[in-house]
Amino acid sequence: MRLTAIAAILLSAAGLAAEDKPVRIFMYSEYIDPALAETFKARTGYTLDVQLYEAQEEMIAKLQTGGTDQYDVLVATGLLVKQMVALKLVQPLDQALIPNKANVGKQFLDTAFDKGNTYSYPYFWGTSGLMYDPAKVQGEPTWAWVMDPAKAPGPFTLLDEARTTLGSALVWQGKSMNSRVPAEVKAASEAVGAAKHSPKCLGFAGGVDGKNRVVGGEAVVAMVYNGDAARGIADKPGLQYAIPKEGAEIWCDLMLISAKAPNKAGAHALINFLLDAEVAAQNANFIQYASPVEAAKPKIKPELLNNPAIYPSAEVMKRLTYLEDLGKDSRMWDAAWTSVKSQ
């Protein structure tokens, strides 16, 4: 097996044969092209072990209960980076082992999430919105379809993500998605609670599950992430995805290394691998999310680059908001979400 120079350095740092120590990544389901595992093994000698979670809260909980020594690379949304650093769940990156960082678009570097990219590099970016069957839904897409039981056009699912779902309820109510006002967050949680108890609500679901329910005809509309919707629409043309008229979330998922990663060298190798232009393009073509790897764009399918559900127009971008790290106010949001889920 011929190893690249960077892989050789990483293997030496590991102090053992690569095949003796797989690289374990913790991420959402259906979030990496399975074919890349073979390429990664061929290039670095490392076996890729993909471990799954369906909600960011689940991921944080597992790490806090001793899971930092079970995973090497973590995929987490940008707003969680500062929290994960404060909780000592992640470790600084060795920048010398990630030369492919040069392939990343400047707008995704040195962000408010992680100044200097001390702990992370971007994986994919996208939006959250509504996937629906236009044959069964009428009018301009609105969060009312899933937040107002009286206006729900049919069976629907809510997204099982605290900040995204509560934030969507807030923007539907004309408030900031990053509100720190207790009364506003309470009103949003009450709206989500009422939606949850609607006879038309099929419950909380991950983005993949929500997408599958719309594709299967069980749901008329679902809160999902845009990449999930794009894959679902490819399976069943005629379905649609849209940013509600009130606005929605824009997000960027990042790759970090677990604080007690059992294979630190392999973790760096994986992050560098996923930032390779050819690899990032292959991954984007399969996953159908927007890639932050600028050097990959010439290799990404034109129909994906021109798909507004994946790469929103400038007009739609004006209606999108990044969720922020709320610091101590996160406890208020956590309590609101706990109230919703326990009702």
CA-to-CA distance for 272 and 230, rounded, in angstroms? 26
> Cα–Cα distances in Å, from 175 out to 107, 158, 185?
27, 19, 9
Query: Quick one: 88 and 177 in the same domain?
Result: no
pTM of the model: 0.86
Ranges of beta strands (E only) in the chain are 23-28, 48-53, 73-77, 90-91, 121-132, 156-159, 201-205, 221-225, 240-242, 248-258, 320-322
- State which residues form the domain around 235: 128-250+313-342
Query: Quick one: 191 and 236 in the same domain?
Result: yes
Query: Quick one: 330 and 208 in the same domain?
Result: yes
Query: Quick one: 72 and 16 in the same domain?
Result: yes
Is residue 1 very low, low, confident or very high in pLDDT (cuts 50, 70, 90)? Answer: very low
Query: Quick one: 95 and 67 in the same domain?
Result: yes
Query: Quick one: 317 and 263 in the same domain?
Result: no
Average pLDDT in the chain = 93
What CATH number does the domain containing 244 carry?
Answer: 3.40.190.10
Is residue 327 very low, low, confident or very high in pLDDT (cuts 50, 70, 90)? Answer: confident
Query: Quick one: 171 and 225 in the same domain?
Result: yes
- 81-128, pLDDT tens digit by residue? 999 999 999 999 999 999 999 999 999 999 989 999 999 999 999 999
Query: Quick one: 21 and 132 in the same domain?
Result: no
Query: Quick one: 195 and 333 in the same domain?
Result: yes
Cβ neighbours around 154 below 10 Å, total: 13
User: CB of 133 within 8 A of CB of 277?
Assistant: no
φ, ψ for residue 56 (rounded to 5)?
-60, -35
Pairing of strands 90-91, 320-322: unpaired
CA-to-CA distance for 94 and 10, rounded, in angstroms? 11
* Range of lowest pLDDT (142-156, 161-175, 324-338): 324-338
CA-to-CA distance for 16 and 18, rounded, in angstroms? 6
CA-to-CA distance for 51 and 71, rounded, in angstroms? 8
The total domain count for the chain is 2
- What is the token pair recorded at 141? 């897409």
Q: Please tell me which residue, 10 or 156, carries the higher pLDDT value.
A: 156
- 186-219, pLDDT tens digit by residue? 999 999 999 999 999 999 999 999 999 999 999 9
Query: Quick one: 14 and 141 in the same domain?
Result: no
* Range of lowest pLDDT (19-28, 59-68, 172-181, 220-229): 19-28
Query: Quick one: 196 and 132 in the same domain?
Result: yes
Query: Quick one: 199 and 174 in the same domain?
Result: yes
Residue 158 bridge partners (DSSP): 204
Region 170-180: what's the mean pLDDT? 97
- 226-259, pLDDT tens digit by residue? 999 999 999 999 999 999 999 999 999 999 999 9
Pairing of strands 121-132, 240-242: antiparallel
CA angle 269, 274, 278 (to 5 degrees): 120
